[in-house]
């Protein structure tokens, strides 16, 4: 027997209208200090989460645009071809936000009879494109470093080169921190991966700054040597991003979330045992399918109420859980039909 039921919960987090300037201070502090609310935060509206992701992409694109413009100005005054290449590289990598933005827009579409779970998986596909771009960045940086070692070149206009490297590093690091903060808050592995990607771009620009310092000391090998070290750093970031996206594609979740779900179900009055608990991410939304055991002598209406209560506890206990199906299986006793099933779906 199946029942459809929806809960509408209003959760108020953060500063209200009466906090005045403190709200701005809190938001600035939150922006500058990356941290995760994986065990406490819940995004009650998937639409609001998508809005937050799209806003993060627009703001980061604006910052990267200003960064690229600053680098382009330095390129114009210095005439450095190397800096031009770095500027174009940063602009091209910033465009990885485009497929992720499209994925967020697709994810807001309603489910259809063909795509019954909606279009949240587009976000994971965008994550693949981002990981591929990070890999390309590692190959490009490594190639440039090896080429410079085999064919040393004198670096001109060192103050301008250093300035361009610093501009690139600061801009990309600000974007990286912002994307990672928002990505963790809304549960988007793809947005976090894109933040890590921006961080690799910052490392590449930092190599320009460090290489310029070494060249000023007369070390011709400084620029390519730093380039090789940065390539290794990019590969480390690539591993983290690829692992995160791979786990999402394979429906992996933090085992602690499963423990939390089982504890919430077992604590529900009337639940005598917990069976299979399955959790999966679809974009930045978490879905659950669970089985519980109840007294076989209960009526269908009583079993339904227990399933509703279990689902209610589950939604509140598991962060970013936006959908749950709870199946109540009556315990065998006497002539009970073992195939009888009560289910509650949120």
Domain count, the chain: 2
Q: Which residue has the higher pLDDT, 208 or 263?
A: 263
CA gap 245, 188 in Å, rounded: 10
Q: Comparing 108-112, 189-193, 217-221, 286-290, which segment has the lowest mean pLDDT? A: 217-221
**Domain range for 312:** 255-345
Q: For residue 55, which phi and psi values (nearest 5 degrees)? A: -60, -40
Residue ending a domain, among 187, 219, 249, is 249
pLDDT at 123: 83
Closest C-alpha to 261, from 291, 281, 283: 291
Residue 325 falls inside a structural domain: yes
Q: What are the structure tokens assigned to 337, written together?
A: 């039909």
Residue ending a domain, among 249, 264, 280, is 249
In a shared domain, residues 161 and 260: no
CA gap 224, 258 in Å, rounded: 47
pLDDT at 78: 65
pLDDT at 15: 38
CA gap 61, 77 in Å, rounded: 24
Q: Does 93 score more than 90 pLDDT?
A: no
Q: What whole-number percentage of the chain has pLDDT above 90?
A: 19
Average pLDDT of the segment spanning 105-123: 87
Residue 157 falls inside a structural domain: yes
pLDDT at 114: 93
Average pLDDT of the segment spanning 209-229: 74
Residue 226 falls inside a structural domain: yes
Residue 5 falls inside a structural domain: no
Q: Which residues of 295-327 are buried (b: 16+ CB within 10 A; e: fewer)?
A: ebebeeeebbbbbbbbbbbbbebbbbbbbbbbb
CA gap 342, 328 in Å, rounded: 5
Residue 3 falls inside a structural domain: no
pLDDT at 240: 83
pLDDT at 113: 93
In a shared domain, residues 259 and 322: yes
Residue ending a domain, among 200, 226, 249, is 249
For residue range 308-339, list pLDDT tens digits in order.
999 999 999 998 888 889 999 998 655 444 44
- Mean pLDDT, all residues of the chain: 76
Rg for the chain (alpha carbons), in Å? 26
In a shared domain, residues 309 and 179: no
In a shared domain, residues 237 and 327: no
For residue range 24-45, list pLDDT tens digits in order.
434 333 333 333 333 333 333 4
For residue range 271-299, list pLDDT tens digits in order.
999 999 999 988 878 899 999 999 988 99
Q: What are the structure tokens assigned to 101, written together?
A: 């933005």
Question: Can you give the pTM of this predicted structure?
Answer: 0.65
């Amino acid at each position: 027997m199946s029942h459809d039921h929806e809960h509408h919960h209003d959760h108020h987090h953060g500063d209200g209208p009466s906090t005045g300037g403190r709200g701005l201070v809190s938001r600035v502090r939150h922006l500058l200090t990356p941290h995760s609310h994986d065990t406490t935060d819940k995004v009650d509206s998937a639409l609001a989460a998508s809005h937050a992701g799209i806003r993060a992409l627009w703001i980061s694109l604006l910052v990267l645009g200003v960064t690229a413009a600053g680098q382009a100005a330095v390129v114009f005054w210095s005439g450095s071809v190397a800096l031009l290449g770095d500027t174009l590289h940063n602009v091209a990598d910033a465009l990885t936000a485009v497929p992720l933005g499209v994925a967020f827009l697709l994810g807001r579409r309603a489910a259809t009879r063909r795509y019954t779970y909606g279009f949240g998986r587009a976000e994971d596909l965008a994550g693949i494109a981002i990981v591929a771009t990070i890999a390309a960045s590692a190959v490009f940086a490594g190639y440039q470093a090896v080429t410079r070692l085999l064919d040393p070149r004198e670096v001109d206009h060192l103050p301008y080169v250093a300035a361009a490297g610093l501009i690139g590093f600061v801009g990309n690091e600000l974007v990286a921190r912002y994307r990672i903060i928002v990505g963790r808050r809304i549960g988007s592995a793809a947005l976090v991966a894109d933040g890590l990607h921006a961080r690799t771009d910052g490392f590449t620009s930092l190599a320009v700054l460090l290489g310029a310092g070494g060249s000023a000391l007369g070390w011709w090998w400084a620029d390519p040597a730093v380039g090789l070290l940065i390539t290794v750093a990019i590969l480390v970031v690539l591993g983290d991003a690829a692992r995160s996206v791979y786990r999402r594609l394979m429906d992996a979740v933090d085992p602690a979330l499963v423990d939390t779900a089982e504890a919430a179900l077992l604590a529900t009055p009337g639940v005598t045992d917990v069976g299979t608990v399955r959790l999966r991410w679809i974009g930045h939304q978490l879905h659950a399918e669970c089985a519980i055991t109840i007294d076989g002598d209960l009526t269908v209406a009583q079993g339904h109420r227990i399933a509703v209560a279990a689902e209610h506890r589950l939604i509140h206990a598991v962060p970013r859980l936006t959908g749950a199906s709870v199946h109540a299986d009556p315990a065998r006793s006497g002539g009970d039909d073992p195939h009888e099933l009560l289910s509650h779906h949120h």
